[in-house]
Chain A
């Protein structure tokens, strides 16, 4: 009787122990790796863990998904706040807080290689936090190797040296104002319309200093701009600012502002003065600091510096954005931003040397 009871108890106990030691792992792992993929066969789930670049960056660096098949990314951070976005796909998860999973879902529509990246300054090597999203299309298997919408410009063919300094001989003494320029233009009825002038200029390939000189010397083809040549230099710089504002779409500047504040301000500063919170650590991490002093080539560009900005062209900035600054902390954005976004950023850069607001301040 007693023996029988012992036996029964032992059998139950053994069953419980087996259930815990064998059943529990089998059930959880079986569900996750067997049943779950079966149940959600039409959604691909990928977990990506963000860690500081020196601790490995994104834990999955290459993610392969399929055109037309929904993807669910489960994003987490292991240490600090990271941001997550996929360039050229319009997927932006925003901030990913440590330990708080963030789920983003999307359905890739075009095959090719995309770059995902951290969108917030997380550490000195922040720009290294990148990974590749390979979108595979069974109909076009080789497309997965092609970067999506690569920038088309050939700088060599254009004769542009992205690393050459571009300091202007002539540059404004104080920040030119587009609003004042507009008022000046209105006061001078002999001038053609701004659109007529802009039709003959190429603001992406001409620097403000070049445009200034063309206006001053009345060298714009087929147009008579003599009154401009007689103006004080300060006024003419206001006119240049005015033309720059007229030549750029307000929406593009706004898009550029958003992109800049998210991706560039940490180094270049919210005001474009090159004094972003990350600038100091970039410098201190660089041996250049000792060799070249604070204004050595490693410091982020100062977009409020009139001399350098008057000498640079949109094309140069566009090129630097695409390629990144070799040897500096400047990341290459060519795989991330679309053509439109790159130019929007360039458009926004002009708001630093020029006051492009419509009201005079």
Chain B
């Protein structure tokens, strides 16, 4: 205990210098916030709240009205929750949702045999295979959900079954493997959040990696009587990016050296951490951007046949659609990007860098643009449909209840005519941010500014084309 207090007082005297020299504000230096984050029942309390909504969402989806916009499950999962995650939580707080997500909770409680108190985990003790320690499964899971999304998003029963399947899979994996294998390697939403959380201005990091290096017991990873080892299989001591830290604050509680902090920092820093980039993540970036583009085309574009195909009006056209959808994500867009990278390498004479490496590195430039495209795209249906939230709160099952007296609140689309005026600047911000990241990544490889500039041009051109594609869809 004395050990835990000493660094705390030191921290308050002088903030610890951070390895990457950018300004950071240590949120955990605020005493009350620090106390809340260290309060053991915190995560359980938050999860209990979301679990209530989640159980209601599954129940209403499965036994409530089949009419999507009168069903709590559809409205709260795909409109309210989605709006919250995509437009607020991810851009501002990264993986914060993962800290309160109820899906892995039952499995985690079972393997812990506890809700709050730390205990040794009990599972079959199997190890997750090394060759699956990447996010390819997550990528394919996301694609799988995406290709069926028109059905999942509009049919309450399908939504209910998908959510239930997630919970059951998470429980199954928890019983076999230690910690949150489902979150880390399966959850399609987690993949989405993880990629874009790298932009967030919030991060959990150790204050001084040197302290970690010297600290033999590594409680943050292995667990102690103060808390569990990182459920996300992350070693905080070498944590440099938000991508796989679920912000559960467990390490904040376990670390007896008081070496873990929650910081505010400039957004997007993690995209510049070159060491941990990989092809699986690059593909995640392609898949995310392509899906945003395809959804915009399907839902906002003028192609009725495309919408019908996505809606599975007839299975044969749907199969064609699905093949096209997957090909766009896995081959066409990455192929175009590969071509741009190849051009970039040739033109800037970056012969020392393999094209594959450049391809992976530059893919991270798509992250800001992709996130902003998702936000812009989501605005178009969130603002139009969010007013359904009030009636479904009063009548979650669509059974004619009127709990809060808001059942008959009329559908009110908010600023439908102004949505493009919001979408355009959001997208432009994404483009500028993306160009900046391209420039920074180019400088990692180039030896002179002119060389960097040359290598940026093809990628920048592609980003511009993509942006114009989005703008065309938003402005009709």
Complex Cα–Cα for A10 and B56 (A):
23
Chain B residues with CB under 8 A of A28: 56, 59, 396-397
Q: Is the CB of A24 within 8 A of B56?
A: yes
Q: Is the CB of B69 within 8 A of A10?
A: no
B-side binding surface: helix, strand, loop or mixed? loop
B residues 17-52 touching A (CB-CB < 8 Å): 40-41, 44, 48, 51-52
Complex Cα–Cα for A59 and B398 (A):
14
A16 within 8 A of B: yes
B347 within 8 A of A: no
A45 within 8 A of B: yes
Complex Cα–Cα for A77 and B66 (A):
10
Most A Cβ at <10 Å: residue of B109, B388, B400: B400
Q: Is the CB of A74 within 8 A of B400?
A: yes
* Interchain CB contact (< 8 A) of B69 among A29, A74, A98: A98
Q: Is the CB of B66 within 8 A of A78?
A: yes
Q: Is the CB of A49 within 8 A of B66?
A: yes
A34 within 8 A of B: no
Chain A residues with CB under 8 A of B388: 99
Distance between B76 CB and nearest chain A CB, rounded to angstroms: 14
Task: Name the CB-closest residue of B to A99.
Answer: B69
Distance between A299 CB and nearest chain B CB, rounded to angstroms: 26
Q: Which one, B112-120, B139-147, B286-294, is touching chain A?
A: B112-120
Chain A residues with CB under 8 A of B400: 45, 47, 72, 74, 101, 103
Chain B residues with CB under 8 A of A101: 70, 395, 398, 400, 407
Q: Is the CB of B51 within 8 A of A99?
A: no
A32 within 8 A of B: yes
Q: Is the CB of A14 within 8 A of B69?
A: no
Chain A residues with CB under 8 A of B4: none
Chain A residues with CB under 8 A of B115: 9-10, 13-14, 17
A249 within 8 A of B: no
A207 within 8 A of B: no
Complex Cα–Cα for A222 and B109 (A):
100
Most A Cβ at <10 Å: residue of B51, B116, B399: B399
Q: Is the CB of A78 within 8 A of B52?
A: no
Q: Is the CB of A10 within 8 A of B48?
A: no
Chain A 42-59 interface mask (CB, 8 Å, partner B; 1/0): 000101010000000001
B410 within 8 A of A: yes
Complex Cα–Cα for A13 and B400 (A):
33
B301 within 8 A of A: no
B429 within 8 A of A: no
Chain B residues with CB under 8 A of A125: none
A298 within 8 A of B: no
* Interchain CB contact (< 8 A) of A20 among B51, B63, B109, B407: B51
Distance between B262 CB and nearest chain A CB, rounded to angstroms: 24
Task: Name the CB-closest residue of B to A97.
Answer: B411
* Interchain CB contact (< 8 A) of B67 among A9, A24, A49: A49
Chain A residues with CB under 8 A of B63: 29
Task: Name the CB-closest residue of A to B399.
Answer: A32
Chain B residues with CB under 8 A of A39: none
A313 within 8 A of B: no
Task: Name the CB-closest residue of B to A100.
Answer: B411
Q: Assuming A32-B397, A76-B67, is B116 touching A13 (CB within 8 A)?
A: yes
Distance between B284 CB and nearest chain A CB, rounded to angstroms: 33
Chain A residues with CB under 8 A of B44: 13
Complex Cα–Cα for A74 and B408 (A):
13
Q: Is the CB of B52 within 8 A of A10?
A: no
A: residues with CB less than 8 A from B are 6, 9-10, 13-14, 16-17, 20-21, 24-25, 28-29, 32, 45, 47, 49, 59, 72, 74, 76-78, 98-101, 103
Sample (29) of A-B pairs whose CB atoms are under 8 Å apart: A9-B41, A9-B116, A10-B116, A13-B41, A13-B48, A14-B115, A16-B48, A17-B48, A17-B51, A17-B115, A20-B48, A24-B52, A24-B55, A25-B59, A28-B56, A28-B397, A29-B59, A32-B399, A47-B399, A47-B400, A49-B65, A49-B67, A76-B67, A78-B67, A78-B68, A99-B68, A101-B70, A101-B398, A101-B407
* 13 further A-B pairs in the complex, CB-CB below 8 A; given A10-B114, A24-B55: A9-B115, A13-B116, A20-B48, A21-B55, A28-B56, A28-B397, A47-B65, A47-B398, A49-B65, A76-B70, A78-B68, A99-B67, A100-B411
Top 10 A-B pairs ranked by shortest CB distance?
A13-B115, A99-B69, A6-B117, A76-B67, A9-B116, A20-B52, A74-B400, A16-B48, A78-B67, A20-B51
